[in-house]
Structure 1
Amino acid sequence: MEFRLLGPVEVWSEGGQVPLGGSKPRALLAALLLDAGRVIPRERLIGAVWDEDPPSTARQILHTYVASLRRAFTGAGLPPVIVSHRVGYLAEVPPQSLDKLVFERHVAEARAAAKEGAHLRAGELFRAALKLWRGAALGGIGDSFLRTEAERLEELRLAVIEERVAADLAAGQDEQLIEELGELVALHPGRERLRRDLMTALYRAGRQADALAVYQHGRRVLLDELGIEPGPELRRVQAAILRSDPALLHAATPAARLPRQLPPPVPDFTGRAEELSVLCGHLMKSDTMPLCVISGQGGAGKSALALQAAYQVADAYPDGQLHIELRGTSETPATPEEVLGRLLRELEPPGTPSPGTLEERAGRYRTLLAGRRKLVVLEDAASESQVRPLLPGAGGCGVIVTSRNRLAGLAGAAFLDLGLLPAQAAFDLLARITGEERIAADPDAAWRVVGQCGGLPLALRVAGARLASRRQWTVARLADRLADERRRLDELAVGDQEVRASIGLSYRLLPEPARSALRRLGLLGLPHFGVWIAAAATETGPDEAEQVLEQLVDASLVDMVETDAAGQIRYRLHDLIRLFAAERAVAEEPEQARTAAVTRVLGGWLWLVQQLDAERPTGVIPRRAAGGLAYPLAEEMARTVLADPPAWIRREEEALVVAVELAAAMDLDEIAVELAAALSSVAFEGSQYVFDNPFTTWNRTHQAALAVARRMDNALGEAKLLAGLGQLSYERDLYAESREYLGQALSLFRTAKDVRGEATVLAALGAACREQGYLPEALHFLGGAEHLWAGLADPQAVAHVKRLAGTVYLERGDYPAAQAALAAALSLYQEAGNRRGEGLVLRNLSLYHRARGELEPSLELAERALAIFLDLGDRFMVAYCRRSLGKTLTRLGRHDEARRLLKESLDVSRTVHDRWGEACTLRTLGELHLAEGRLYQAKERLEESLRLWETLRIDLFRGRTLRDLALVHQALGDDALAGSLRAEALEIFRLHDAREHGEPVAL
């Protein structure tokens, strides 16, 4: 168990953090733990909780707080901790479990070591003490007089930092301290001891002028803010520097020259347990020289992970740790000669001259490391050639390299490609930076921020820091600000941390072809993409595009997602990199180039979808080619992309929606219209290229394209999209809405004198009217469509219309007309080699023979149709054929066979959300139960079917179901209800001029 005061007040058990409640119970616990083992009077505890304004019931509330804390402790498997006393309470905790006591013990031991001259040991103990701090002491206690104690602890922490710096200076850690001391002096300009030590470190590093400038700046601060001159110690060091006093130079003993150069670890390091375990496992190998390369995009937390691992394995490298910043992403990366010169100065006695050449420096460096156990951390490497001269020559030493590039050329290295933080770890990191209580107050908003940061640690740190520095902000406010993608990179900036700048470092180092590809991929905004998209965007071949993508992968700006079934690699951009790349595209590329790139990619999709549509056997009217808008792919690439069409179209679904919406946003109305229309042509109608979310995909693409068509006054495009939305409504069984869309489209096609479009919509209106039982209207529209298609010399379109007309004639009981129309449709489909169209007509002919009581021909035709659709893999029409077979088998008395087929049909209809098919199958199951004498089961199924017909507003089939229910109630002995239902059914048949009007009982 752990009790923490040096930061937010927390208690941890093996099972995790123990809930303590609000600020007042935390203040009570903090007051007890500050004097652990001693009785604290109730009056003092009341003051700690309520300061100078306690309520009249403070004693009773105090007792309640104590009870709730005890319950929390025992619930977490801990002892009660808080012990009652006649005058108050005391906290009984093991000293090693309270961070404040551990801190004080480490500090005492460090001071003793420093007094004995063991400065290295003192520095390590001081560091161990300071690692216990997690933020401002006694966090989360609200307004309390304990704030005074928190300020005392903070002052103690600063004093310990000063003592640790002094120990490191005494141990010869001069140059390593300069950066840290600079930051400390900037944060605490009035602390003269820190300023004195910074001056000393700068002087020892040969930077006498900088040391004197630090003094002058400090003098101005003291005069301006306090009106006093610097103290005697600061003036003494200044005077010593002015006279170049050798006493300021530290003659380190060999033991003191052991390098301890690691920067402080990240205090709120979160997650990465698996990666850390792998790294430490490699670094603990004693028989080799472990070389670990951590690569990843900027801001992924490579440095934090490297330092965390370095501190964990530090004891295995007793000869010290070297830390070198290689500046690989800067405009002036460190050269190997420069780095080796610095390393030799660290490792050799002062005044030893360094060799002149790179080879000589590398040789001496390896000689100095031979037989030693040193850990070398090389940060921000640019390339393998920068790293190789800095590697030790033999086993014993370990090396950690961080780089945005993968550095695959480093032989023998263990490579760790650092990805994004998992969602829970990202949430935890945000909470640790922002404060647990603030995040707990609105976890939903916190999850939104985590999603907007995309799991990138730098983005999470910036977001957390912004919240931490703006206490008046809610988490929801930041989430709302980040929701606007146009401002997101602006919001993710605080102090010297900026996500945009971090990505920009990697972008600047790319060759121009890779920068151009990244810009255009960012502009597209796709969730994932294949090589052909990069090729189309950059107007290059697949080989060149793949090479550029590999450069972007090596630079950690593009991720490889998967290899698909066709062996093609899929890539993606992190959301924040995508936003950066899109910004650069707008800033660096002319509008014409951006438009051309987007048009080529969408044209490539359009061309690919056209290939699917051209090869697909269908019963719908063929769609016209899009002409010059399509962008043909290289033959080999197209063959690979379309190797598995169903998998390809499903994989591209989300990207296709984004693409159409992008075209609409860029006012590219023609390509948006054509691509949206093309997608709808492969989405339904029994096609094997069905989307996972067809209704959503169809609606989103059509609505986006419709908006831009109207905005650009593209009347013909608007007509196409309205027709597509009408077809979508038809597929969703929304027939009234379908006819509304189709009616609007018909007017626009006629105004544009687009005969093909007019014929298409007339056929669709005929189908919609047929479904609702508006049979004369259906024949009117289908007649007009057939006339137009005949003039256009399109036999498959004529076959489609004749088939629909044949089914309407069948519904009206005009059997000769039905047989003639269906026979003509069958002949046309067979001549064209359209097997799907043939299967549709065979099923309709099966229904024709069943309606005439010719059950054996009906059965044979339904089986032929089923065989075709099974061969085509069209499960939608397979379900319809099985239902037809089930009904015929029911009438033949083969009930067991019928039941199996109808159950399979019902399962498919429900799976694909086909409410029309579900209602029809339920009615047929009702007929089956009626034939078997299972009257109550028949009633239940028929009533289910009836409710669906009422929802769909399909009156004719509602009438047929009412007639069946009448038979059930008649069999149950309720003649009055049966007569009422039969009368209602007859009226429906009369109104729709259906075949049952003259024969209401037989079907």
Structure 2
Amino acid sequence: MGNENSGSVRNLVQIGAVHGHVHFHEEQVPPGQLSAEPVNFVDREPEREALDALLAERRGARAGCVVISGINGVGKSALGTYWSHRVIGAFEDGQVVFDFDLGRRSLDEAAEHCLRSLGVDGDRIPLATDDKIVLLRSRTKGRKLLFFFDDVADLREIEKLLPASADSLVLCTAREDAADLVPDGVRPIRLTALEPPHALDYLRWNGLRARVDAEPAAAAELVDQCGGLPIALRVVAGLLQRRASWSIARAVRELSGRRRKHFHTVFSALDLAVGELQATEKELYAWLGVFPGPVFSAGAVAALADLAEIDAESRLAELHRTCLVEENDQEQYLLHDLVDEHASSEAVRALGAAKRDDALRRLVGWYRLQGAFADRMVMEPSRLRVVDDDVAGENPFATREEALEWLERERVNLLGIVRLAEESGLRVDVIALCDGPLWALHNQHKHYSDTLRALELAIKCAREIEEPVAESRMRCLRGQLLMECDELAEAQEECAQAVAVAERAGHRRILASALEFQGKVMHALGEFDGAVGNFERSRRLNEELGRRRGMALQEYLMGKSFSGLGRHGEALELLRAALERIAEFPEDKRTPGQIRVAAARAHQALGQHEQALALLQDAIAATRERQASFDLAEPLELLADSLTATGQPGARDCLDEALAIYEQAQSPKAERVQRKLDRE
């Protein structure tokens, strides 16, 4: 044919003599198997930064490995695909994608797919899985490859597929957390639902910007209905696109009570995930559907499910590993909204009504006991309690700070348990919870509206069981809160009823307490003579009962009212006596500070600001030590007054801190402090 050729040919070779066999090889095209980049991708910046950091790491002769985990529909594959497209240039030898289909496809199939993707002919692929893996390592050594393994069931198997190449990366998605694989070099990334602002952005970027911005409140409620879960947001975005005439408020109404119908994909996936659990974890999952609060501790779950706490911890850990349960930074667990709804339906299906009722009684009892322990650690153990729970045994809280942290952490659950107990007819439990842990918490950290509602229930329960002592006590506590909220007329009425009920009951200690609370309201109303009369009568009752601490408290309150009458010298004498008497009770860390603050007020009224400064600084230091933030506000405000009067610096800083405390507690006193700041 000569040495010339014209036209188009393939595999053209010009040779002289040929010895042996001849093989023709086409140039291998790097695999590019990534699916299309997801549209309208939002947020996940911390997770993308973690992926970027892994890519930049120096790892020696080992590929990087990252596992993105989370419940179905949280956006694991979307994140993996989106990020992979951002860094595709780092993998010049290509990208290989394989879907394990949650264990329906095997390690052997994955290894064979990877080999074929890298250009290995079928007749050269070994039959044995181990041999396939060995060949895969050989083919990937030193290359820059991205392997994307989706929906992995057994994460341990992925380690066998890791290339011996520092320039390669294995990215997996799974419904199981990979935290326990960190020692093996795996980087876990656990996805949770989108925060509301990002969820709203998702809807806006899906062609709904005008409708979202026109109905911001309804849009926020719609995002809440979706629980911030991307798959659910996608469903509602599609629903609104199809129903162009619908308002977002209409979509919210459609979803209310019908989420299972619209989010059937999510619920079906949860059915599958729960179906694969061991029997013990499956049962615990159902119990979680009974829990009345948003977060739960292992101890509470143990009480609910009638388990040893160590068993509850073990089963919760397994549910956490499978991403059905999340964990916060306070050793509490929680369920995503849609998972919670699914668990509730599992509870109805798997647990009978009688079992659920027994479980809720156990839970109420557990919170009552734990709350009683916390109350006694935070407040004076012998203070007046109308339901004196038996708390024999070792207190589970080692310190006052630990008990207070528990009360704050469990506040929402305690309020939920109060409502649950009232609905279940457990009226004494309602009273015990309000008089114990909730009052102890309010004494240190103020939460007015919630506690007021709880006390209303407690008064109702006390009347229903005809317990006048409990009714008087609950009315006193509610009157105190109303007074602190500057609702003085209602506070006066509540405390007057408390005194009347105590008089009828003939209970001297509860009457002494009711007189004290009524006197406080009179003082707040400027009725100082009446207040002194109440405090003096209460002091005499405490003396008859041999309660010296009660006497000290009434002397302190009388001193405040004498100051109100302008009799500051007499007030200081009473306050000095109260301070001496309260010293007999070293476990009471709060009252001495209150007495010093009252004495400082009297000194200020007499123009003695240097004496006031010393008292206030002592009170503030002691209050900071016991971490009672609300009690800091008044002495800080007074300290600012004396600093200003003496021409010393620092007044504005004191007022700023006092204002922040009052605003946090939603106290009306914030307005007064703001006016002082405006004058600075």
Residue 532 (1) aligns with residue 299 (2): yes
- Aligned to 1:298, what secondary structure does the other structure show? coil
Report the alpha carbon displacement of residue 905 of structure 1 after superposing the two structures with TM.
9.8
Question: Does residue 322 of structure 1 match 2:41?
Answer: no
SS in 1 for 2:328: strand
Distance of 1:530 and 1:880 partners within structure 2: 39
Q: 1:309 to 1:488 in 2, by over 3 A?
A: same
| Equivalent residues in 2 for 1:557-596, closer than 5 Å | 557-563=324-330, 569-596=331-358
- Local SS of the residue matching 1:294: strand
Q: 2:266 aligns with which of 499, 504, 510?
A: 499
Counterparts of 1:717 and 1:338 in 2: how far apart (Å)?
Answer: 73
- State the Cα distance separating 1:855 from its structure 2 match: 7.7
| Displacement after TM superposition at 1:371 (Å) | 4.1
1:456 has 2:229 as partner: yes
Residue of structure 2 equivalent to 1:699: 452
Counterpart of 1:440 in structure 2 is: 213
Task: Report matched runs for 1:141-540 at 5 Å.
Answer: 254-255=26-27, 258-283=30-55, 288-328=62-102, 333-347=104-118, 351-352=122-123, 354-407=125-178, 408-409=180-181, 411-482=184-255, 484=256, 487=257, 489-490=259-260, 492-493=262-263, 498-540=265-307
C-alpha change, 1:414 and 1:368, in structure 2 (3 Å) is same
| Counterpart residue number, 1:882 | 597
The count of aligned residue pairs is: 602
Look up the match of 2:18.
none
1:611 aligns with 2:373: yes
Letter matched to residue 406 of structure 1: D
Letter in 2 for 1:380: D
- Secondary structure of the 1:562 match is coil
SS at match of 1:405: coil
Deviation at 1:653, TM superposition (A): 1.3
**Mind listing any 5+ residue stretches in structure 1 that lack a counterpart?**
1-115, 119-251, 564-568, 779-803, 812-816, 929-950, 952-1003
More moved, 353-362 vs 261-270: 353-362
CA gap of 1:570–1:543, structure 2 versus 1, over 3 A, is: same
Distance 1:718 1:254 in 2: 95
* Mapped partners of 1:399, 1:896: distance in 2: 70
Aligned AA for 2:44?
A: R
Deviation at 1:413, TM superposition (A): 1.9
Q: How far has the Cα of 1:607 moved from its partner?
A: 0.7
Deviations 1:531-566 (CA, angstroms, capped at 9, x unpaired): 322222222233222222222222222222114xxx
Separation in 2, partners of 1:744, 1:858: 29
Give runs of aligned pairs for residues 737-752 of structure 1, distance below 5 A.
737-738=490-491
In the alignment, is residue 821 of structure 1 matched against residue 575 of structure 2? no
Deviations 1:387-432 (A, max 9, x none): 2333334444321111121233361222222233344322211211
Equivalent position of 1:159 in the other structure: none
* 1:723–1:741 contact (8 Å) kept in structure 2: no
Preserved CA contact (<8 Å) 2:482 2:491: no
1:660 maps to which residue?
Answer: 418
Q: Match for 2:280: what amino acid?
A: P
Return the letter of the residue paired with 1:260. Answer: G
Deviation digits for residues 432-473 of structure 1, max 9, x if unmatched?
124222222223322332334333222222222222222121
Q: Which has the larger radius of gyration?
A: 1
1:892-911 equivalence runs, <5 A: 894=608, 896-898=610-612
Cα distance in 1 for partners of 2:305, 2:284 equals 6
Alignment CA distance shift 1:619-1:291 (3 Å) = closer
Aligned in 2, Cα 1:760/1:580: closer, same or farther, shift over 3 Å?
farther
Cα 1:117–1:731, aligned 2, differ >3 Å: closer, same or farther? Answer: farther
- C-alpha contact (below 8 Å) 1:846/1:857 kept by paired residues: no
Secondary structure of 2:289's counterpart equals: helix
The alpha-carbon distance between structure 1 residues 284 and 824, as it changes in their structure 2 partners (threshold 3 A), is: closer
2:317 to 550, 560, 567: 550
Equivalents in 2 of 1:379, 1:507: separation in Å? 20
* C-alpha RMSD of the superposition: 4.7
Q: Cα distance 1:464–1:888, how it changes in 2: closer, same or farther (>3 A)? A: same
Note if contact 1:862-1:884 (Cα within 8 Å) is conserved in structure 2: no
Matches within 5 A, 1:768-917: 770=519, 807-808=532-533, 821=540, 824=543, 828-830=546-548, 834=549, 838-841=552-555, 844=558, 857-858=573-574, 860-861=576-577, 863-864=579-580, 872-874=588-590, 878-879=593-594, 881-884=596-599, 886-887=601-602, 894=608, 896-898=610-612
Task: Tell me the secondary structure at the aligned position of residue 409 of structure 1.
Answer: helix
Whole-angstrom distance in 2 between the partners of 1:739 and 1:457: 52
| Residues 572 and 602, structure 2, Cα contact 8 Å, conserved in 1 | no
Q: 2: CA distance between counterparts of 1:772 and 1:412?
A: 65
- Amino acid in the other structure paired with 2:417: A
Per the alignment, in what secondary structure is the counterpart of residue 595 of structure 1?
A: helix
Q: Does 1:671 align with 2:429?
A: yes
Q: Distance in 2 between matches of 1:253 and 1:436?
A: 54
TM-score calculated relative to the size of structure 1: 0.52
Report SS of the residue matched to 1:406. Answer: coil
Tell me the CA shift for residue 588 of structure 1.
Answer: 1.4
- CA, structure 1 residues 366+298, in 2 after alignment: closer, same or farther (shift >3 Å)? same
CA distance in 2, matches of 1:904, 1:409: 52
Gaps of 5+ in 2: 1-7, 11-23, 624-628, 646-667, 669-680
User: Are 2:274 and 2:282, in contact at CA under 8 Å, matched by a contact in 1?
Assistant: yes
SS in 1 for 2:246: coil
Aligned mates of 2:91, 2:632 — CA distance in 1: 68
| Other-structure match for 1:208 | none
Q: Is residue 890–residue 898 contact of structure 1 (8 Å, CA) maintained in 2?
A: no
The superposition leaves residues 634-657 of structure 1 with CA deviations (integer Å, 9 ceiling, x where unpaired) of 958x24597622222122212211
- Structure 1 Cα separation of the partners of residues 600 and 143 of structure 2: 84
CA distance in 1, matches of 2:454, 2:76: 40
* Aligned equivalents of 2:153, 2:386: Cα separation in 1: 53
| 2:98 aligned counterpart, secondary structure | strand
1:166 aligns with: none
- Counterpart residue number, 1:785: none
Instruction: Determine what percentage of the aligned residue pairs are the same residue.
Output: 22
- Find the aligned partners of 1:897 and 1:574 in 2 and give their Cα distance: 56
Q: CA deviation at 1:302?
A: 0.9
Alpha-carbon distance in structure 1 between the residues aligned to 2:56 and 2:386: 66
Q: Is the 8 A contact 2:560 2:598 kept in 1?
A: no
Letter in 1 for 2:80: A
Within-5 A mapping of 1:55-66: none
| Residue of structure 2 in register with 1:729 after alignment | 479
Alpha-carbon shift at residue 300 of structure 1 (Å): 1.9
Query: AA paired with 1:676?
Result: C
Which one scores higher on RCO, CA 8 angstroms, separation ≥ 6? 2
Write the distance in 1 (CA, Å) between the matches of 2:376 and 2:121.
80
Instruction: Name the SS for the 1:498 alignment partner.
Output: helix
Q: 1:706 to 1:456 in 2, by over 3 A?
A: farther
Contact 2:91 2:146 in 1 (8 A): yes
